[in-house]
Amino acid sequence: VSTSRPPHTRHRARGGAALSKAEAELWQAWKHASDSVISRVEHDIAEATGLSGADYGVLSQLVELGRGKLRQQELADSLSWHKSRLSHHLSRMEARALVRRTPAKTNVVLVAITASGKQALRSARPGHARSVRAHLTRKVLPAERKHCLALLIRLDNE
Amino acid sequence: VSTSRPPHTRHRARGGAALSKAEAELWQAWKHASDSVISRVEHDIAEATGLSGADYGVLSQLVELGRGKLRQQELADSLSWHKSRLSHHLSRMEARALVRRTPAKTNVVLVAITASGKQALRSARPGHARSVRAHLTRKVLPAERKHCLALLIRLDNE
DNA sequence: CAAGATTGAACCCTCAATCTTA
DNA sequence: TAAGATTGAGGGTTCAATCTTG
């Protein structure tokens, strides 16, 4: 009915040969796991505090990387976000008074967490920690932790 | 990444104690890796064929799970998608003639891949396989593959 | 010109409400 | 009522174009 079912793709993985069963399995597992861990944590935070995962990431980078303030571009880099994504997002966060933008020297914009941003972050932290533990760190056994970290870093690079 | 942890938040180490350095490290690595692997693959597919990762997932489930057709609900389950996400997405795909929806017996809608959907999928497959290999499967060493798969499944469950 | 930032259009996803039919 | 599906609103993300200033 459809395209040819790949009959024997097992022995040689040439340029565009179909994924082997093992490869497809790994890919599916990766898609599902990466999707579900992140979205569970984000769901937990949002439910408890009204902050999205993105909001939480912005606020915590501001306090942990800067001491409450960062240049916008530096913030974008630390989050691996496109600058326009950050720009749009900060507009929304600014409207909610979580951050404030102030033009600085030349071409640069400083982003600062506000008092209510700090408050929101403070009250979100415990739940965030609980959620990360429940959905990620508790499920990675101590024995595999180091190895797992190395793999994740390898996957992120290049 | 500076890490001055307020010492006075430590003694209340109930459920919500701040993440340890190791935990935070794992969480950051997870966020970055899961984000970048998926988005690299999606970017590659989109660039080569104009299909999004979501499009590709829908089309391949249709041919691999059904034989070109599936009940909408079943399709949603297999993708772990909310039904409304699938409904919206199918509307867009239907407008591009990649799939066709036909109401069946009772309350059920059958989703079928069209000829051009098959064509699009066929031409996207080799690039998809190359991309998945480049960004995921080749980076997981043979020795760690099995272990990695088990971890991913563990993370997805519960 | 280049770097930093913004904007608007188009697309995507979630949530809650709704429609339809058994 | 319940299951299957749709709809609309509202955020969120990307891309390309634009603005601004050194």
Q: Which nucleotides of C are covered by protein (CB under 7 A)?
A: 3-9, 11-17, 20-22
| Cα–Cα distance measured from residue A151 to residue A148, given in angstroms and rounded to the nearest whole number | 5
Please write the tens of the pLDDT for every residue from A102-135: 999 888 999 999 999 999 999 999 999 999 999 9
**Residue A78 pLDDT more than 60?**
yes
| Cβ-based contacts (< 7 Å) between A 23-52 and strand C | 39, 43
Are B67 and A2 a contacting pair, CB within 8 Å? Answer: yes
* Inter-chain CB proximity A26 and B155 less than 8 Å: no
Residues of A in contact with B25 (CB under 8 A): 149
Please name which of A29, A65, A32, A8 lies closest in space to residue B1, comparing C-alpha atoms: A65
* Unique residue bearing structure tokens 């080749």: B138
Phi, psi of A64 (to 5 degrees): -90, -30
* Inter-chain CB proximity B19 and A152 less than 8 Å: no
Please write the tens of the pLDDT for every residue from A90-102: 999 999 999 999 9
Please write the tens of the pLDDT for every residue from B38-82: 999 999 999 999 999 999 999 999 999 999 999 999 999 999 999
| Protein residue at shortest CA distance from C1' of D6 | B87
Report the pLDDT value the prediction gives residue A124, as an integer from 0 to 100.
96
pTM: 0.88
Q: What percent of chain A has pLDDT over 90?
A: 86
Kindly state the DSSP code that residue A101 receives in the 8-state scheme. E
**Residue B4 pLDDT more than 70?**
no
CA of A88 to C1' of D10 (A): 14
DSSP H helical ranges for chain A: 21-49, 53-64, 72-79, 83-95, 115-135, 142-156
| Cα–Cα distance measured from residue A157 to residue B6, given in angstroms and rounded to the nearest whole number | 31
What's chain A's average pLDDT? 91
* Inter-chain CB proximity B23 and A133 less than 8 Å: yes
**Residue B106 pLDDT more than 90?**
no
| Residue B105 pLDDT class (50, 70, 90 cuts) | confident
**Residue B108 pLDDT more than 70?**
yes
Residues of A in contact with B17 (CB under 8 A): 126, 129
